[in-house]
């Protein structure tokens, strides 16, 4: 089977995207998803996303991690899918789409996609870290000298160590300003460090606000792959109107022969 694909990146978090409005993609073939995401034998990506029709929204997002398993929400992937929907002409400047964690709204302006994330009402604050769900589960931990930190080794240890088989994504953070942080993320399902994680930086912004590290309602996050801005409101202990904003860019498109 020959498959048409598009490759997108959002601050270096990269995705294979397929237009599946005609249900052409074998959705239960985890080996095929993993093969397409493989950086040596496939196209190469942190995840694969299907754009599908939806009765209640402009489109539906189906997200798989690079290991081939369908997973929870991907913030950067959501932003890239909105850019793809705009490219296809499915939306103009505004989008409403369904994802595994519910309905999302987004706007597109040039290469910049601003994506509304789910509300967050629980942030578990532990001795040296926070844990919260921003559509995907995230551990947030401050470290010193982030640039030299062994994200692969420490991330892997915590991913299984604290969170068991289902695991969590692990974010390491260093504050650089009143409202600015550097972040590096170990992603479950990729089982390694990615250049950026959208639900991860959202979790970091909220956790830093909750713990009093910042009083700002707009937080700037620098990742290896680029810069993202998270804005939000807090009322009665609940975070709402959470927006994740940054670039989402088409890198290339092509066809690939699928034999898996
Ligand atoms: N890169 C993503 C997060 C993708 C999901 C994650 N790996 C998981 O399985 O929880 C993002 O940008 O949010």
**Cα 72 from Cα 138, distance rounded (Å):** 11
12 labelled as ligand-binding? no
What does pTM read for this prediction?
0.98
Cα(93) to centroid of ligand 1, in Å?
25
**Cα 140 from Cα 158, distance rounded (Å):** 11
Q: Checking phi first, is residue 102 left (phi over 0); if not, alpha (psi -120 to 50) or beta?
A: left
- pLDDT tens for 117-176 read 999 999 999 999 999 999 999 999 999 999 999 999 999 999 989 998 899 999 999 999
Q: Exactly one of 37, 74, 80, 258 is catalytic; which is it?
A: 74
In the annotation, is 74 catalytic? yes
109 labelled as ligand-binding? no
Ligand 1: which of 136, 139, 163, 204 to mutate, judged by most atoms within 8 Å of the beta carbon?
A: 136
**pLDDT at position 57:** 98
**pLDDT at position 165:** 86
Cα(156) to centroid of ligand 1, in Å?
15
In the annotation, is 80 catalytic? no
**pLDDT at position 180:** 98
Residues of the chain with pLDDT under 50: none
**pLDDT at position 203:** 98
Cα(32) to centroid of ligand 1, in Å?
19
- pLDDT tens for 114-133 read 999 999 999 999 999 999 99
**Cα 46 from Cα 67, distance rounded (Å):** 9
Contact between 115 and 82 under an 8 Å Cβ cutoff? The reply is yes
Residue with tokens 């081939």: 68
The predicted complex's ipTM stands at: 0.95
**Cα 72 from Cα 75, distance rounded (Å):** 10
């Amino acid at each position: 089977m020959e498959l048409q694909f598009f490759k997108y990146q959002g601050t270096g978090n990269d995705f294979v995207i397929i237009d599946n409005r005609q249900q052409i993609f074998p959705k239960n073939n985890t080996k095929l998803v993993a093969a397409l995401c493989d950086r040596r034998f496939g196209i190469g990506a942190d995840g694969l996303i299907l754009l599908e029709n939806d009765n209640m929204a402009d489109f539906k997002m189906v997200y798989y991690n690079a290991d081939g398993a369908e997973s929870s929400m991907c913030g950067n992937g959501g932003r890239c899918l909105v850019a793809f929907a705009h490219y296809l002409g499915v939306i103009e400047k505004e989008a409403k789409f369904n994802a595994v964690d519910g309905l999302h709204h987004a706007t597109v302006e040039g290469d910049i996609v601003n994506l509304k994330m789910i509300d967050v009402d629980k942030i578990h604050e532990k001795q040296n870290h926070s844990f919260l769900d921003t559509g995907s589960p995230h551990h947030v931990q401050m470290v010193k000298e982030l640039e030299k930190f062994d994200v692969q080794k420490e991330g892997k240890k915590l991913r299984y160590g604290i969170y068991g088989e289902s695991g969590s994504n692990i974010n390491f953070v260093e504050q650089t300003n009143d409202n600015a942080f550097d972040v590096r993320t170990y992603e479950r399902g990729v089982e390694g460090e990615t250049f950026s994680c959208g639900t991860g930086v959202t979790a970091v912004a909220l956790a830093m606000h909750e713990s009093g590290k910042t009083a700002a309602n707009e937080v700037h996050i620098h990742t290896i792959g680029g810069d993202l801005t998270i804005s939000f409101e807090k009322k009665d202990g609940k975070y709402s109107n959470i927006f994740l904003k940054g670039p989402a860019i088409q890198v290339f498109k092509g066809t690939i022969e699928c034999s898996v």
